[in-house]
Amino acid sequence: SSELTQDPAVSVALGQTVRITCQGDSLRTYYASWYQVKPGQAPVLVIYGKNNRPSGIPDRFSGSSSGNTASLTITGAQAEDEADYYCNSRDSSGNYNYVFGTGTKVTVL
């Protein structure tokens, strides 16, 4: 399958921890990258590879992977973390084709 499935929405209390998951067959082979999308703004890369953060991304963002599931964890969520989050990976076709997850809306209460 070339699909990446995410829960549509999750909520987290301010300062608490939230985990967002991404499931797909291709994740058994390839790492996911994660993107934060806020209304009217371009997507921002927050995690790539095994667990790498680009410069400027707070260390409360972390990534992990097990089997066919990749996870993005926000430890100590802040109000500014409220956004849509998408995973992305190569698909299982063997070509350099990419697929985005279905997206998760994170609400910080």
Partner 1 sequence: QVQLQESDPGLVKPSETLSLTCTVSGGSISSYYWSWIRQPPGKGLEWIGSFYYSGRTNYNPSLKSRVTISLDTSKNQFSLKLSSVTAADTAVYYCARGTPLTGYPSYYFDYWGQGTLVTVSS
CA distance 4 to 40: 24
Do 20 and 7 touch, CB atoms closer than 8 A?
yes
* Closer CB to partner 1, 37 or 76, in the complex: 37
Other Cβ atoms less than 10 A from the Cβ of 67: the count is 9
The verdict on 33 binding partner 1 (CB under 8 A) reads: yes
Query: Least CB distance from residue 63 to partner 1, whole Å?
Result: 11
Per CB under 8 A, 61 contacts partner 1: no
Under the binding rule (CB under 8 A), the answer on residue 19 touching partner 1 is no
Q: Is 79 in the site for partner 1 (CB under 8 A)?
A: no
* Binding test (CB under 8 A) with partner 1, winner from 54, 78, 107, 109: 54
How many CA atoms, within 13 angstroms, populate the side-chain half-sphere of residue 57? Answer: 21
Q: How far is the CB of 59 from partner 1 (least distance, A)?
A: 18
Question: Residue 18 is encoded by which pair of tokens?
Answer: 């939230």
